[in-house]
């Protein structure tokens, strides 16, 4: 904007000066002497201003552009020196200016200086053929202008004659020099326009040369007849000429950009550049018109006239021959380009056809009435139908009846939203008679001239959907007892509390078996599992049909009691029945076992939220346990005193880091193909000065709840990386260190930045670090966590989904999130070696991970049978107490060097 305003102000100023100068010349307000002096002085000042402006621009620019402006500026100053001599002789000495004389030297010296300057304007290097064509164009322009000048000026001057041959030569030099300048300007202007360069300044200089050419021609004619007098209207032409040069020098430059690339193709040479082609012919036509008019007026021709026309004819013939050659080159180039493009399109078509045929999706194009116009051949591989059987049939006649309403609704939605994609699921028949669930993506491309239809991408998601439903069931039900899981228990309580009214209340029972740990430790997990299954059966019989029974884990259960008008009384009755039901002994194998229950009861009326309700029931259960068990205890607010110990533990945990009480143990990760250790999982331990070794189960929950997990997590990550580097992870050993991260770490600050800092601090290669997270990370603030995960992937860190199958386990999340490793939860591994259905579930998870390009890891391996089954299922990596328990750093390093004996035996 500033450049435009500055340019407009200079244009207005020069315009006003020219108008004022012309008015003085025409009106002669002070008489002949004053007008003459004003003309001489003003013209001198204008030439000096124009030349100085050109030199200033030359200093600011380097290279050929600077030289070009310097030549133009020196030409203006040369003309100014002639004007100075003229002014001195005429206005100071009051004498007649001699012609030819010193002033003519300055005037005429302008021609070679400006010509050289114009020829130095930088243009793109041309090919030899283009260079020859440019020379021919220049000769055509020069010859045409010379013929016009001969007819209009030179011939009349020669016929009139002069006092001497030198005087005539000087007078003729003015129009001839102007012809040279105009020719060079037009030649360079054509070059710049052909290349798309900035030619605004050159246009102004060209206009100036035309003006001075006309003025010089009139001057030569008047001077020859003795009719020229300084201070007349003709002086306005020279004043205007140098005003235009001043504007050209002051014109803002185009912002610098990339230099045009060298053009090697005729298409690029001529496309969109008509000016460069037309200028020579316009000049020739103008010269021929002038010659015809001249002949019509005089009825005769001279040798120069005839010779010029002959030369023009020869140049036109040469130009046409060059054009013919260029057209042939252009035709050949176009043919080669068309051939290459045809080959490229053919190859692209073949690639596209191969992709469509081998795609896991079936691609079809259907009409608005669902008639199949095109069907990809991959449909036969996916759904068993040959493509030719489906073409011409309507999709609404193919899908199952129960899916028709949804299909018709999708067609209506797609037709009303051009360019939009609709995703829906439909049951479709397989060629073998099975009904398969298909995911369809319908895109309206009816307006696309290349398609003109609805594009339908169909994928068989039947197996994946079944797996997802099964995983959801596993997530909401305990795999051992078939009871509801903690997740389903939490949902039921939440729904019951949200729907509670004055006439309908909610209470929960938290049940912990008495003496179960001793049975489990002494008789083994198998006996303990059988006991838990029988306990679950008795619980279901003791409660009402409307109650929900859940197993939280281990020997802890929960019951949701929803009734009216008082849930507390009903919960007490249910709890009493449970206590009574567990009185009878349990027959496990040949053993008769006994256990009882400590039951805590809490009502929603006594809690502010869900967490408080469960906490209250826990507190009541611990009260029943401390009372000897086999009883029911209701929640009392005084029970909160039991939280003091937890608070003390929290306070101790806050200083544990500064006191170096935390240590890391490392559990090996083993490659089941090679039986070699490929990495470790870092697990934190707390060596309390008073309590001794505190289990992670006792303090990790506190760290999560209080936010201490954030500094704790950074410490674990730093120490694990340092230990991995010490074991050679940064050098000769391809060792991967796995570290668990919490959802709270995602919520607090930039996790990826923290990881990057630790990697830089420890020298740990990013590809050697694996961050493990549970599905809670994927389900909490998904958009922000997804961004964090992509940042971690950008660092090169490996990402693992831990405890897969215990949460929501949505396939959509697996596809969306950039996970590298799928860790199969120990609850699935525990069941291996028995039921074939459990083995099939693990096989399905392994296949799922492989289809998504993910490495599978089995954790919690307890015996050789499980290890063997996992090897047969082609699980990639494994962890578990059977292979190695978590070890201190020194012992882990020893195992890393010596290997695992059990693996050698098992393999």
Sign of CA dihedral 171, 175, 177, 178: positive
According to the model, what pLDDT value does residue 110 have? 85
Is residue 533 scored above 90 in pLDDT? yes
- CA–CA dist 82, 43 (Å, integer): 11
* 286 — pLDDT class (breaks 50, 70, 90): confident
Position 295 scores a pLDDT of 67
The neighbouring-strand residues paired with 512 are 556, 598
Mean of pLDDT values over 179-195: 72
The pLDDT assigned to 268 comes to 43
Q: Select the more confidently predicted residue: 865 or 466.
A: 865
Mean pLDDT of 137-156: 73
Q: Are 212 and 245 in contact (CB under 8 A)?
A: no
| Bridge partner residues of 291 (DSSP) | none
Phi then psi for residue 598, to 5 deg, are: -100, 120
Phi, psi of 551, rounded to the nearest 5 degrees: -110, 120
Q: Indicate the DSSP class of residue 458.
A: E
Whose CA is closest to 717, among 695, 742, 740? 740
Pairing state of beta strands 662-671 and 887-888? Answer: antiparallel
Q: Which helix (H) or strand (E) holds 453?
A: strand 453-460
Torsion (CA) 577, 579, 583, 588 in degrees, nearest 10: 100
Say what the pLDDT of residue 855 is.
92
pLDDT of residue 262: 44
Three-class SS of residue 676?
coil
Confidence label for 1 from pLDDT (cuts 50, 70 and 90): very low
Looking at the predicted structure, is the pLDDT value of residue 696 above 70?
A: yes
- The pLDDT tens digits for 217-252 are 777 667 666 666 777 778 888 888 888 888 888 887
Contact 589, 609 (CB under 8 A): no
778 vs 47 pLDDT, higher one: 47
**pLDDT tens by residue, 567-600:** 888 999 999 999 999 999 999 988 889 999 999 9
Average model confidence (pLDDT) for the chain? 81
Neighbour-count burial of 848, counting CB atoms closer than 10 A to its CB (0-12 exposed, 13-18 middle, 19+ buried): buried
Cα(875)–Cα(844) distance, rounded to whole angstroms?
11
Phi, psi of 665 (to 5 degrees): -110, 155
Give CA–CA dist 422/458, Å, rounded: 12
Tell me the pTM. Answer: 0.41
pLDDT digits (tens, 9 = 90+) for 461-520: 777 777 777 877 777 888 899 999 988 898 888 888 776 555 568 899 999 999 888 888
Name the DSSP class of 53: H
CA 121 – CA 252 distance, rounded (Å): 17
Angle of helix 610-626 relative to helix 486-498, nearest 10 degrees, comes to: 120
Give 406-442 pLDDT, tens digit per residue. 888 888 888 888 878 888 888 888 888 888 888 888 8
CA 165 → CA 99, 170, 171, 544, 562, distances in Å?
12, 9, 10, 134, 128
Tokens encoding 485: 């899981």
The pLDDT tens digits for 249-279 are 888 765 544 444 444 444 444 444 555 567 6
Residue 93 pLDDT exceeds 90 = no
The answer to whether the beta carbons of residues 610 and 493 sit under 8 Å apart is: yes
Question: How far is it, in rounded angstroms, from Cα 242 to Cα 44?
Answer: 10
Helices (H), 428-512: 462-476, 486-498
- Residue holding tokens 């030099």? 173
Residue 401, pLDDT > 50, answer yes
* Model confidence band, residue 758 (pLDDT cutoffs 50, 70, 90): very high
pLDDT in the model for residue 550: 94
Look at 38-42, 648-652, 882-886, 900-904 and tell me which has the smallest mean pLDDT: 900-904
CA atoms of 478 and 484, how far apart (whole Å):
6
Please, where are the H alpha helices in 161-199? 165-195
Task: Write out pLDDT tens, residues 635-691.
Answer: 887 776 656 677 788 888 888 888 889 999 999 999 998 888 999 999 999 998 888
């Amino acid at each position: 904007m500033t450049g435009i305003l500055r340019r407009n102000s200079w244009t207005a100023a020069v315009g006003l000066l020219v108008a004022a100068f012309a008015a003085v010349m025409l009106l002669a307000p002070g008489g002949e002497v004053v007008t003459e002096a004003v003309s001489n002085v003003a013209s001198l000042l204008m030439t000096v201003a124009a030349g100085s402006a050109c030199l200033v621009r030359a200093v600011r620019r380097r290279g050929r552009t600077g030289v070009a402006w310097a030549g133009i500026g020196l030409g203006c100053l040369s003309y100014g020196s002639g004007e100075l001599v003229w002014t001195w002789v005429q206005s100071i000495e009051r004498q007649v200016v001699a012609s030819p004389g010193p002033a003519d030297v300055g005037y005429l010296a302008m021609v070679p200086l400006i010509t050289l300057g114009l020829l130095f304007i930088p243009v793109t290097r041309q090919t030899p053929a283009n260079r020859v064509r440019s020379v021919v164009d220049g000769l055509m322009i020069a010859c045409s202008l010379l013929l016009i000048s001969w007819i209009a000026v030179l011939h009349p001057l020669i016929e009139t004659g002069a006092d001497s041959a030198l005087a005539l030569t000087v007078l003729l030099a003015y129009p001839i020099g102007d012809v040279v300048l105009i020719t060079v300007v037009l030649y360079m202007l054509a070059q710049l326009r052909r290349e798309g360069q900035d030619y605004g300044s050159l246009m102004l200089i060209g206009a100036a040369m035309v003006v001075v050419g006309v003025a010089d021609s009139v001057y030569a004619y008047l001077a020859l007849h003795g009719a020229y007098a300084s201070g007349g209207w003709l002086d306005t032409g020279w004043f205007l000429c140098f005003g235009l040069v001043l504007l050209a020098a002051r014109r803002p430059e185009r912002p610098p950009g990339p230099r045009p690339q060298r053009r090697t193709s005729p298409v690029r040479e001529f496309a969109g550049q008509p000016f460069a082609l037309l200028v020579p012919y316009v000049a020739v036509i103008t010269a021929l018109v002038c010659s015809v008019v001249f002949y019509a007026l005089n009825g005769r021709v001279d040798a120069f006239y005839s010779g010029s026309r002959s030369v023009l004819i020869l140049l036109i013939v040469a130009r046409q021959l060059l054009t013919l050659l260029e057209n042939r080159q252009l035709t050949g180039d176009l043919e080669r380009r068309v051939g290459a493009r045809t080959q490229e399109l053919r190859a692209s078509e073949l690639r596209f056809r191969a992709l469509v045929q081998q795609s896991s999706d079936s691609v079809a194009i259907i009409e608005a009435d669902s008639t199949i116009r095109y069907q990809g051949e991959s449909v036969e591989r996916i759904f068993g139908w040959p493509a030719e059987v489906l073409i011409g049939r309507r999709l609404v006649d193919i899908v199952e009846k129960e899916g028709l309403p949804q299909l018709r609704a999708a067609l209506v939605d797609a037709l009303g939203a051009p360019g939009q994609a609709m995703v829906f699921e439909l049951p479709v028949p397989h060629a073998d008679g099975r009904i398969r669930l298909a995911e369809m993506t319908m895109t309206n491309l009816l307006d696309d001239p290349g398609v003109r239809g609805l594009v339908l991408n169909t994928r068989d998601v039947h197996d994946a959907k079944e797996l997802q439903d099964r995983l959801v069931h596993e997530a909401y039900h305990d795999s051992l007892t078939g009871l509801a899981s903690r997740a389903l228990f939490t949902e039921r309580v939440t729904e019951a509390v949200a729907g509670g009214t004055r006439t309908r209340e909610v209470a929960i029972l938290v049940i912990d078996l008495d003496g179960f740990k001793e049975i489990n430790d002494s008789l083994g997990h198998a006996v303990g599992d059988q006991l838990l299954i029988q306990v679950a059966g008795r619980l279901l019989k003791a409660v009402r049909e409307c109650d929900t029974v859940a197993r939280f884990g281990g020997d802890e259960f929960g019951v949701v009691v929803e009734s009216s008008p008082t849930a507390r009384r009903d919960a007490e009755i249910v709890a009493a029945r449970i206590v009574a039901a567990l009185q009878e002994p349990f027959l496990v194998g040949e053993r008769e076992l006994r256990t009882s229950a400590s039951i805590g009861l809490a009502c929603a009326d006594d809690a502010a939220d869900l967490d408080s309700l469960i906490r209250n029931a826990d507190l009541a259960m611990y009260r029943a346990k401390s009372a000897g068990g086999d009883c029911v205890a209701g929640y009392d607010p005084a029970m909160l005193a039991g939280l003091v110990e937890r608070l003390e533990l929290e306070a101790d945990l806050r200083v544990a880091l500064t006191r170096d009480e935390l240590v890391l143990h490392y559990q090996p990760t083993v490659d089941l193909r090679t039986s070699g250790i490929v990495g470790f999982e870092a697990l934190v331990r707390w060596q309390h000065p008073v309590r001794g070794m505190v289990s992670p189960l006792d303090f990790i929950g506190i760290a999560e709840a209080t936010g201490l997990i954030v500094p704790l997590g950074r410490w674990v990550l730093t120490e694990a990386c340092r230990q991995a580097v010490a074991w050679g992870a940064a050098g000769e050993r391809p060792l991967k260190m796995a570290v668990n991260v919490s959802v709270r770490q995602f919520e607090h600050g930039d996790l990826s930045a923290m990881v990057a800092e630790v990697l830089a601090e420890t020298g740990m290669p990013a590809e050697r670090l694996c961050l493990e997270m549970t599905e809670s990370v994927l389900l909490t603030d998904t958009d922000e966590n997804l961004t964090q995960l992509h940042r971690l992937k950008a660092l090169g860190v490996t990402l693992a989904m831990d405890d897969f199958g215990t949460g929501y386990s949505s396939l959509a999340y697996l596809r969306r999130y950039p996970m590298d490793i799928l860790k199969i939860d120990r609850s699935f591994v525990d069941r291996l070696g028995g039921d074939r259905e459990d083995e099939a579930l693990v096989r399905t998870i392994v296949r799922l991970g492989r289809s998504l390009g993910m490495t599978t890891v089995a954790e919690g391996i307890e015996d050789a049978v499980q290890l063997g089954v996992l090897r047969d299922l082609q699980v990639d990596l494994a962890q578990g107490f059977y292979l190695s328990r978590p070890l201190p750093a020194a012992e882990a390093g020893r195992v890393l060097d010596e290997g695992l004996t059990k693996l050698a035996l098992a393999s």
